[in-house]
Chains A and B, each alone.
Chain A
Amino acid sequence: MRRFSQYAFEISDVSHVSFWKKAGPMDRVYIGYGLLVVLLVVISYLLGATGALPYDPQEINLELIMAPPNTGGHLLGTDFMGRDMLSRLIISIQAYFLPGLLAIGIAIVFGTCFGVFAGYWGGALETATTYVSNLLNSFPRLVLILLMVAAFKPDIYYIMIIVGVTNIPVVASLIHSKIQFLKQKNFIEAATALGLNNCTIIFKHILWHNCRSVLIIQATLGMAEAILMETSLSYLGFGVQEPTPSWGNMVQAGSNYFMQGKFWPSTAPALAILFAIMGFHLLGDGLNSMLERKGDR
């Protein structure tokens, strides 16, 4: 016969060591770098939204075309029309920030629903959600987006809806397996025996206490996915259209001059993509090993 205190321990899985202390040294580096990137992205988004930029990102200066970094007051140089690189890089975050959040929201909300249906109730619902997940997994994402673009119109919000929808199976399978694992423990049984309704058990005991970290990690990785898709699509010419800058179409515009040995106009946005995506990946993986593996190290 187990004592209640043991159940209580299981419910919240609280140990009194802080998460930060449990993280390995590399995880701290990963998470630190990732948080720095997130901070930079948010600050840049706010700067772009309030218009507090060093130069007007659309202002053309034909006397200073493709200037190298740090000439004439342009910290990162200028592009092929003499527009300030730094301002364009900052304002580009507008292109994926809100659409990316939309994609993440869709993936998290619907993925959680699917995962709870499959894991908590099981049976026919499980079969149905597995089928839908496999169905969504059958499409290469970029090809599905191209189909969508052909059928409707190249709009960044449509594209991000597809990104979110195709991310649903990932979240759903994680929540599903997590719930299956939790069901082996006794606290769900205990909660049912106490007369709690399904709603409380699912939202409080399962999702809030035990799936929070999974969802945060998936949100982080989802942002990396959104940036990757936005830049790829803008590079291909289906995302954000030219006068409005985005990292993808900046690389594309700069690539015309790449073969002449003028690397900078496409390298600067490419590096921005590299550091941003790496930041979100590292943050997700660092958080994963910090929050999900308890007492492993």
Chain B
Amino acid sequence: MKLSAVRPITVLVTRELGIAALLLLGVSFVVFVILYLSPGNPFATLVTRIETAADPGAAAAAPATWYGQYFTWLKNLFKGNLGNSIRTGLPVLQEVVRVGINTLYLTIGSLLVTLLIAVPIAVFSARRGMTPTSWSMTVFTYVVSALPVFWLGYIVIYISIHRFGLFPLAFGSSAGPWNWFYFLLPVLVLGISNGTISEVVRYLREEMKRVFAEEYIVTARAKGASVWKHSFKEGFLIPITEIIAAKIPFILGGAVVVEQVFNWPGMGRMAWQAAQDRDYPLIMGITLVAAIIVRMGSLMQRVVHIIVNPRASKE
């Protein structure tokens, strides 16, 4: 491939942004279709509620056609008006953003925990091959990723109450020296048993082994140059961003359960409550925000990929 054929990075990144926007439009459409098909026609009611809330004077009625309803909803969506929660009457967007921050802490924190456990094991077993040590560590990752996250949560809560006299269900209410503890426990639990560690280890190990066997790494090794420095981009950076982007949805899903166990006031618990109450506007808002978070992760992965290897523009 000629160098002139490589398009500038800004163009590629803009293209990725466009794709992400298109996908989010598709996400909104899927959410609309699910609600539109649900019995009792809740979507028309929702659109009417949004319209009357925006303009109380007008006697608003939902458009009769499905695309009319969808576009009215979409128009309000772009204005940031997702309607009010049926249960609390508060505007959905503010509510979701308020608790979404907590979920973001939980998700990013547990992602770091997962990587802190998985990366050393992957690097070790890629470097040393299958020794008894790396084998036992691999089996450990399988056990840990099959642990039911709620059960681990109960064990951790029980131990912390009975051994340390701490009550990790009191989120944010305790301004003491142990405040960090209440944040740390759910993050640790979700990070350990979100069910992705074994996959992360496997993927990283296979990719690293593949790259270590590539000819340019063999050359680097023969020259006495640093293998790490040469294999970092292809063998570590790209696989790790790929696996992070692919696992964000799983960790967000696990967050629903962990927030339930630890009483963590996040998006997952709110989604659970909304599903119990059939609070349509709220659960729609949560789904949209969760999809935006996932798309941000993939966008980050694509941008890293493009910066590392601008030739991979066509994919």
User: In the complex, are the beta carbons of B147 and A274 less than 8 A apart?
Assistant: yes
Question: Which residues of chain B from 79 to 94 have a CB within 8 Å of any chain A CB?
Answer: none
| Chain B residue with the shortest CB-CB distance to A259 | B158
User: In the complex, are the beta carbons of B260 and A139 less than 8 A apart?
Assistant: no
User: In the complex, are the beta carbons of B257 and A236 less than 8 A apart?
Assistant: yes
User: In the complex, are the beta carbons of A131 and B253 less than 8 A apart?
Assistant: no
User: In the complex, are the beta carbons of A140 and B274 less than 8 A apart?
Assistant: no
Checking B23, B154, B271, B278 against A143 with a beta-carbon cut-off of 8 angstroms, the contacting residue is: B271
- A135-B27 CB under 8 A given contacts A140-B249, A143-B253, A152-B38: yes
In the docked arrangement, what's the CA distance between A152 and B283, Å?
Answer: 13
User: In the complex, are the beta carbons of B151 and A143 less than 8 A apart?
Assistant: no
Question: Which residues of chain A from 208 to 232 have a CB within 8 Å of any chain B CB?
Answer: 224, 228, 231-232
| Interface residues of B, count at CB 8 A | 61
| Chain B residue with the shortest CB-CB distance to A274 | B146
In the docked arrangement, what's the CA distance between A285 and B203, Å?
Answer: 11
User: In the complex, are the beta carbons of B142 and A141 less than 8 A apart?
Assistant: no
User: In the complex, are the beta carbons of B142 and A139 less than 8 A apart?
Assistant: no
Question: Which residues of chain B from 115 to 135 have a CB within 8 Å of any chain A CB?
Answer: 130, 135
User: In the complex, are the beta carbons of A137 and B294 less than 8 A apart?
Assistant: yes
User: In the complex, are the beta carbons of A150 and B283 less than 8 A apart?
Assistant: yes
| Interface residues of A, count at CB 8 A | 45
User: In the complex, are the beta carbons of A151 and B280 less than 8 A apart?
Assistant: yes
Checking B31, B39, B252, B256 against A152 with a beta-carbon cut-off of 8 angstroms, the contacting residue is: B39
User: In the complex, are the beta carbons of B295 and A138 less than 8 A apart?
Assistant: yes
Q: Quote the shortest CB–CB distance from A208 to chain B (angstroms).
A: 26
Interface check A277, CB cutoff 8 A: yes
Interface check A108, CB cutoff 8 A: no
User: In the complex, are the beta carbons of A143 and B252 less than 8 A apart?
Assistant: yes
Main secondary structure of the interface of A (DSSP, over half): helix
Checking B26, B130, B268 against A26 with a beta-carbon cut-off of 8 angstroms, the contacting residue is: B130
User: In the complex, are the beta carbons of A141 and B249 less than 8 A apart?
Assistant: yes
Give per-residue flags for A222-251: 1 if the beta carbon is below 8 A from chain B beta carbons, else 0.
001000100110011110000000000001
Q: Quote the shortest CB–CB distance from A138 to chain B (angstroms).
A: 5
In the docked arrangement, what's the CA distance between A259 and B155, Å?
Answer: 9
In the docked arrangement, what's the CA distance between A141 and B294, Å?
Answer: 11
One of A10-18, A76-84, A189-197, A265-273 at the interface: A265-273
User: In the complex, are the beta carbons of B146 and A281 less than 8 A apart?
Assistant: yes
Checking A238, A261, A277 against B275 with a beta-carbon cut-off of 8 angstroms, the contacting residue is: A238
* CB-defined contacts of A224 to chain B, threshold 8 Å: 146
Checking B151, B195, B248, B271 against A266 with a beta-carbon cut-off of 8 angstroms, the contacting residue is: B151
User: In the complex, are the beta carbons of B23 and A146 less than 8 A apart?
Assistant: no
Q: Quote the shortest CB–CB distance from B40 to chain A (angstroms).
A: 10
Question: Which residues of chain A from 92 to 148 have a CB within 8 Å of any chain B CB?
Answer: 131, 134-135, 137-144, 146-148
User: In the complex, are the beta carbons of A151 and B151 less than 8 A apart?
Assistant: no
- A146-B151 CB under 8 A given contacts A140-B294, A151-B34, A274-B146: no
Interface check A207, CB cutoff 8 A: no
User: In the complex, are the beta carbons of B143 and A150 less than 8 A apart?
Assistant: no
Question: Which residues of chain B from 136 to 169 have a CB within 8 Å of any chain A CB?
Answer: 138, 142-143, 145-151, 154, 157-158, 161
- A135-B30 CB under 8 A given contacts A146-B256, A266-B154: yes
* CB-defined contacts of A277 to chain B, threshold 8 Å: 146, 195
Most buried by A among B24, B275, B278, B294: B275
Task: Identify 11 residue pairs between A and B in the complex whose beta-carbon atoms are under 8 Å apart, listed by A's number.
Answer: A131-B23, A137-B294, A138-B24, A139-B294, A150-B278, A152-B39, A232-B253, A255-B150, A266-B151, A274-B148, A281-B142
B residues contacting A by CB (< 8 A) are 19, 22-24, 26-27, 30-31, 34-35, 37-39, 42, 130, 135, 138, 142-143, 145-151, 154, 157-158, 161, 195, 198, 202, 246, 248-250, 252-254, 256-257, 260, 268, 271-272, 274-276, 278-280, 283-284, 286-287, 290-291, 294-295, 298
Given contacts A142-B254, A143-B252, A146-B286, 5 further A-B contacts (CB under 8 A): A137-B298, A143-B290, A146-B272, A277-B146, A281-B146
Question: Which 8 A-B residue pairings sit nearest by Cβ, starting from the closest?
Answer: A142-B253, A151-B38, A270-B151, A278-B146, A140-B252, A277-B146, A140-B249, A146-B275
